Structure 1
Amino acid sequence: MKRRTFIRKNGQVALLAPLVPAALPSLFTAGNQPDEKPEWLQKMIVNNDASLERVQQRYVSDPDSPHYGDVLDGYGMPSPHAATSFLKTGICALISPESAYHADAGLVERLSHAAEFLFGLQHEDGTIDLLSTNFHSTPDTGFIVKWLAPVWRLLENSSVPEKSTITVPLKQFLLQAGEALKVGGIHTPNHRWVVCSALAELYKIEQDPAYLARAERWLSEGIDMDADGQYEEKSSYIYSSLSNRVLISTARGFDKPELYAYVRRNLDMNFYYLHPNGEIVTEASGRQDNSIIGTLEKYYYPYRYMALKDGNGQYAAACRLIEATAFEKTTGFLYYFLEDKDLWKELPEPKPLPISYARVFRHSNLARIRRGNYDASILMGSPVFFTFHKSSLALQGIRFASAFFGKGQFVSESLEEENSSYILSSYLRGPYYQPFPKDKIPGDGDWSKMPRSERPQSEVQELYSRVTIREVEQGFSLEISIEGTERVPVALELIFRPGGTFVGTVPHEELEDTYYLKEGVGKYSHAGSAIHFGPGQHQHRWVQLRGALPKQDAPTVFLTGFTPFHQTLQIT
């Protein structure tokens, strides 16, 4: 792009940006005519322009550079994923009349270089590399195909001048990738459905029966959904939403409507995973999104598609929630909405989402309780066994540990319901070991040849930990009991999301963002909301116990004591 053109285009983006309002709900009133882009979609296109400004900064435009035409990742490495991001974002802008980059000749030139660059990174077997971990990777090739096949179709069906400089190398890449997808393997459960989705997207370009045959081979294994409605990886932020999107893609591309049932079950389950501020519970995830702050933007396409398909008012309400809390994060899914005009239609009348419930998700080792503007998660098998969200505030977790043989971090082994209470418990042993049996001594003093498992035990120490959680008015009561070996130091920690202010706590003598609750009730407040917790207990100053997990990078309040340790916390 010429410098003058770039300044003009960039100026247009800058002028448009202030028009995006802070309060989104009133903005989302789609037009009745499918051929008219609704206002929300036009705003998504403007947001995509802003993304393009960032993404194309990694495009190497210097003709004298050895990397000319390459797209670099955040570490400065030429990357197929960086090229894909540029192509996906750039093509969506290029074909949209509402974009400041519509049919821009300079962007066409850069995207053509990026397409050739991507094609050059492809191995002869059709695969690409994910430089952070996977090489000659069929599943990562599938991810790229499922992104690029739709935008290839959008560009191929457009009137953008010189589009063939992009579509020709990109189609070569896609068809060669298809050869890999017909035969390649996977790593994780969701990879199967990603590959199926990629094959379905290719099938829309070229109806190779081998694409369908390979997808059916993967689908014959059955969808990995438990009785709760969750996928195998329990990755509520990243991979469950991904599975929903790719199963819809597979259902549409290969005419397999039976797959929609799995999507519905997961979307329904999510209603009980929502915090009052629109975030989603992530503490039960088995993947890298465990305990991160996650919003619902990745579910926008599934909720919108299924809301319109089924006339489902609760799915429509979920869309409105996403529009109000995480709309700007939906921009990466623009290609779905540009290609399918049915998604432009007015949503059904929203129906209320559940905001008062108590449910146990056995397959995820999780109990969920919500009462209006506050909610809690109770977790088995996790060091963080309790979380509490209230309006915009979050007690991100409660943990405790004892200095019991370096293995005293509490992780519950069971989750029981009893008389409207939830009970978590664990049992630890700390033995000592007697001399090795005489008839088995190797004679050379080699310790490794005398395993502990064959030594008699003595002076066995035991520790029983139990947490009983009950609902109280406007919150919860947590009764914590640790018994067995006496005089074992204990540290109980309450981990809060940054941003609030404490009252009633005492700063730690040395550690930042670390406090004691020595007595009484503490308060953590922000923006007119407050979480109250207590009463306190303070019998020693040791908070980084041997064998305990490191303190998290968050404001943390400690209660300390010794076994037998008994403490009833009120969280409201």
Structure 2
Amino acid sequence: MDRRTFVQSTLTALCVAPALGFVRPSRSMPPWLLELVKLNDDGLVALRALQSKEAGTLGGVRDGHDILNPHSTFALILWGSCALFAPSSRYFRSEGLREDVRLAAEYLVKTQHADGTIDLLSTNFHSPPDTAFLVKRLVTAYGFLEQSGTPGVERVLAPLKTFLTRAGEALIVGGIHTPNHRWVVAAALAQLHTRWPDPRYRARAEQWLQERIDIDADGQYNEKSTFIYSSLSDRVLITIARGLNKPELLDYVRQNLDMTLYYVHPNGEIVTDASGRQDKAVVGTLENYYYPYRYLALRDQNGTYAAMCALIERTAGQKLRGHLDYYLADEALWAPLPPAKSPPVSYVKTFPNSGLVRVRREQWDSTLIARNPVFFTFMHGQAVLQGLRLAASFFGKGQFQTETLVQKEKSWELTQRLEGPYYQPYPAGQLPTQDGDWEKMPRTARPQSEVQHLETRVLIRETNHGMEVEISSEGTDRVPVALELIFRPGGTFAGLTPHASLPNTWFMEKGTGTYTFQNDRIQFGPGLHLHKNTALRGALPAMDAPTVFLTGFTPFRQVLTFSAAST
């Protein structure tokens, strides 16, 4: 087969293959997929050990807190079905594993509420969206089991179908909490409709879709959750596009994937600083994006997406097993990727809707962030400045944070203006109470006097080898100021003075300092050390990370440089 014919056949498969129409593999799996199957086998050993074999809880799986729950039980069904289906698995058609999966399916039915929902025991009860998270992948598991040829598999299919069809009744009427839940529920309904066609499934999915996809001009979804929920939205929108024949939904996925190209640190981690969910500022890699990048790299013959797949394989390869079911279910994904085209590695990119600016120059990068007490980060390979924070002892409200990030020529400006008033006696004749109750005399009605002011301005600009941060704070004199340089644990410092009593805390008295992690180094400075107070009143608590303090008083001005240095 020549390349043109091969490419056309691959595109056809990706465009028209039904969401669940997979069959026994018709050709050998590629090496990367064989490795994921092996990793899945290894993970099943620990998961099966957590399954209860006791009467009353038979089949349920415990989590790390020793709590039997639907989600851990679901995991055994999903990963077990992958192993029973994959010919290279050491559990292929295993009757022992089949029995464990059967018990898990029966336990899942027992824990299902009469309305078809399940509980997420950490927070949500009788939860349609958490039910949908399970359904959208258990329908695939059902297909694996059905096609596996495992002896006696019908004993697993029966309880699993019971769970899924009952859950479908819940999803036809159930509500949601967050923006991404709409697409998860719609994807689960699309999966159910493909497996057991029912016009009610499609109609309910269409109800959610009529709200339109929550993506902004930057290419970011509403929750701005780059590690968890943006990639989730990409995956489930692909599922809906395929299951309900809505290829136009793929345009939203492309927008997000194009944006994500600029959210990549040189070490393969993803920028999470502007997230609005629980992944804010976490350390995360890109494994959750592999499926959408691979799917669209092949569908569109997109070399940049192919290069992102290669990057993810290199930096987070073993973590790809978390979506093994996606890759097993679609043989078209096994095709070789198109020739790679390098993603952007040197740029300045602004994302106004997220209040974020990204600066990257090959092996170092920096993130500027509005609406966040951490307003600046700098990374050189594995050496990471996790953030700068600034605080002043100003009426208990001096933690620096700004709503805007404004570009002014070659600099970006963040500004905060604070007032600290005193209050006069309550106006005569306007006292709302006669019992002296302070709470009934609001400050807003009192005249102000001796009003103090503090204006802080941060200017950030690029230099030849890194970034420069200029900080000025003035208005009221003699206000103590502390600047925190917060680093990722694991490296070593030079040029600093350890705090006399606090662990992981240093002062930078003068000159420059360095932070070295393996073969990567950040040089920073100059220092300033005019007092020893590292816990100013009104400031946020110290982070559990190595922190360097620069301290002074207003009027305060300091220009700091951060550069990628050779070891």
* TM superposition score category, shorter chain reference: over 0.9
Aligned pairs (5 A) from 1:460-499: 460-499=451-490
| Amino acid paired to 2:222 | E
8 A contact 1:143–1:194 mirrored in 2: yes
- Structure 1 residue 421 displacement after superposition: 0.6
Tell me how far apart the structure 2 counterparts of residues 250 and 68 of structure 1 sit (CA, whole Å).
Answer: 35
- Structure 1 residue 440 displacement after superposition: 2.1
- 1:407-455 CA distances to partner (integer Å, 9 max, x unpaired)? 1100013211111111111111111111112222111111111111111
Tell me how far apart the structure 1 counterparts of residues 27 and 191 of structure 2 sit (CA, whole Å).
Answer: 23
8 A contact 1:494–1:557 mirrored in 2: yes
Tell me how far apart the structure 2 counterparts of residues 420 and 125 of structure 1 sit (CA, whole Å).
Answer: 59
Match of 2:374 in 1: 384
Counterpart among 398, 414, 436 of residue 426 in structure 2: 436
Match of 1:241 in 2: 231
- Structure 1 residue 58 displacement after superposition: 1.4
| Amino acid paired to 1:335 | D
Match of 1:52 in 2: 44
Match of 1:38 in 2: 30
| Alignment pair present for 1:330 and 2:340 | no
| Alignment pair present for 1:367 and 2:338 | no
- Structure 1 residue 145 displacement after superposition: 0.3
| Amino acid paired to 2:263 | Y
Match of 2:156 in 1: 166
8 A contact 2:84–2:148 mirrored in 1: no
Tell me how far apart the structure 2 counterparts of residues 531 and 453 of structure 1 sit (CA, whole Å).
Answer: 48
Counterpart among 448, 454, 457 of residue 439 in structure 2: 448
Tell me how far apart the structure 2 counterparts of residues 526 and 303 of structure 1 sit (CA, whole Å).
Answer: 31
Match of 1:9 in 2: none
Task: State the secondary structure of the residue aligned to 1:490.
Answer: strand
- 1:168-199 CA distances to partner (integer Å, 9 max, x unpaired)? 10011001100111111100000000000000
Aligned pairs (5 A) from 1:337-348: 337-348=327-338
Task: State the secondary structure of the residue aligned to 2:261.
Answer: helix
8 A contact 2:370–2:403 mirrored in 1: yes
Counterpart among 259, 263, 267 of residue 277 in structure 1: 267
Q: How many residues get paired?
A: 538
Counterpart among 162, 179, 185 of residue 195 in structure 1: 185
- 1:284-328 CA distances to partner (integer Å, 9 max, x unpaired)? 000000000010000010000010110000100000000000011
8 A contact 2:226–2:275 mirrored in 1: yes
8 A contact 1:119–1:169 mirrored in 2: yes
Tell me how far apart the structure 1 counterparts of residues 193 and 199 of structure 2 sit (CA, whole Å).
Answer: 8
8 A contact 1:477–1:571 mirrored in 2: yes
Tell me how far apart the structure 1 counterparts of residues 45 and 452 of structure 2 sit (CA, whole Å).
Answer: 62
- Structure 1 residue 69 displacement after superposition: 2.1
- 1:451-490 CA distances to partner (integer Å, 9 max, x unpaired)? 1111111111111011101111110111000111110101
Task: State the secondary structure of the residue aligned to 2:195.
Answer: coil
Counterpart among 497, 508, 514 of residue 523 in structure 1: 514
Counterpart among 524, 538, 541 of residue 532 in structure 2: 541
8 A contact 1:34–1:344 mirrored in 2: no
Task: State the secondary structure of the residue aligned to 1:439.
Answer: coil
Match of 2:101 in 1: 111
| Alignment pair present for 1:94 and 2:84 | yes
Match of 1:209 in 2: 199
| Alignment pair present for 1:306 and 2:296 | yes
| Amino acid paired to 2:495 | G
8 A contact 1:516–1:538 mirrored in 2: yes
8 A contact 2:41–2:91 mirrored in 1: yes
Tell me how far apart the structure 1 counterparts of residues 26 and 409 of structure 2 sit (CA, whole Å).
Answer: 54
- Structure 1 residue 97 displacement after superposition: 1.6
Task: State the secondary structure of the residue aligned to 1:463.
Answer: strand
Task: State the secondary structure of the residue aligned to 1:287.
Answer: coil
- Structure 1 residue 104 displacement after superposition: 1.4
| Amino acid paired to 2:446 | R
8 A contact 1:34–1:342 mirrored in 2: no
| Amino acid paired to 2:100 | R
8 A contact 1:227–1:363 mirrored in 2: yes
Structure 1 residues 34 and 465: alpha-carbon distance in aligned structure 2, compared to 1, 3 A threshold: farther
| Amino acid paired to 1:208 | D
| Amino acid paired to 1:70 | G
Tell me how far apart the structure 2 counterparts of residues 396 and 356 of structure 1 sit (CA, whole Å).
Answer: 21
Match of 2:213 in 1: 223
- Structure 1 residue 217 displacement after superposition: 0.6
Tell me how far apart the structure 1 counterparts of residues 423 and 75 of structure 2 sit (CA, whole Å).
Answer: 58
C-alpha root-mean-square deviation of aligned residues, in Å?
1.0
8 A contact 2:85–2:147 mirrored in 1: no
- Structure 1 residue 66 displacement after superposition: 4.2
Structure 1 residues 415 and 160: alpha-carbon distance in aligned structure 2, compared to 1, 3 A threshold: same
| Alignment pair present for 1:130 and 2:120 | yes
| Amino acid paired to 2:278 | Q
Match of 2:4 in 1: none
| Amino acid paired to 1:503 | A
Match of 1:251 in 2: 241
8 A contact 1:150–1:335 mirrored in 2: yes
Task: State the secondary structure of the residue aligned to 1:414.
Answer: coil
Tell me how far apart the structure 1 counterparts of residues 379 and 167 of structure 2 sit (CA, whole Å).
Answer: 45
Tell me how far apart the structure 2 counterparts of residues 246 and 355 of structure 1 sit (CA, whole Å).
Answer: 28
For structure 1, list consecutive stretches of 5 or more residues without a partner in the other structure. Answer: 1-32
- Structure 1 residue 503 displacement after superposition: 0.4
- Structure 1 residue 332 displacement after superposition: 1.4
| Alignment pair present for 1:393 and 2:383 | yes
Match of 1:23 in 2: none
Match of 1:297 in 2: 287
Match of 2:141 in 1: 151
Tell me how far apart the structure 1 counterparts of residues 137 and 540 of structure 2 sit (CA, whole Å).
Answer: 39
Tell me how far apart the structure 2 counterparts of residues 41 and 566 of structure 1 sit (CA, whole Å).
Answer: 56
8 A contact 1:523–1:532 mirrored in 2: yes
Tell me how far apart the structure 2 counterparts of residues 69 and 269 of structure 1 sit (CA, whole Å).
Answer: 43
TM-score (ref. length: structure 1): 0.93
| Amino acid paired to 2:527 | G
Tell me how far apart the structure 1 counterparts of residues 516 and 257 of structure 2 sit (CA, whole Å).
Answer: 33
8 A contact 2:116–2:166 mirrored in 1: yes
8 A contact 1:414–1:426 mirrored in 2: no
- Structure 1 residue 34 displacement after superposition: 6.6
| Alignment pair present for 1:514 and 2:505 | yes
- Structure 1 residue 68 displacement after superposition: 2.8
| Amino acid paired to 1:263 | V
- 1:254-279 CA distances to partner (integer Å, 9 max, x unpaired)? 00001000000000000111100111
Task: State the secondary structure of the residue aligned to 1:427.
Answer: strand
- Calculate percent identity across the aligned residue pairs: 55
| Amino acid paired to 1:164 | E
For structure 2, list consecutive stretches of 5 or more residues without a partner in the other structure. Answer: 1-24
Counterpart among 472, 487, 496 of residue 505 in structure 1: 496
- Structure 1 residue 90 displacement after superposition: 1.1
8 A contact 2:235–2:292 mirrored in 1: yes
- Structure 1 residue 36 displacement after superposition: 1.4
- 1:32-62 CA distances to partner (integer Å, 9 max, x unpaired)? x97210000000000101111122221013x
Tell me how far apart the structure 1 counterparts of residues 58 and 323 of structure 2 sit (CA, whole Å).
Answer: 28
Tell me how far apart the structure 2 counterparts of residues 241 and 568 of structure 1 sit (CA, whole Å).
Answer: 38
Task: State the secondary structure of the residue aligned to 1:378.
Answer: strand
8 A contact 1:49–1:99 mirrored in 2: yes
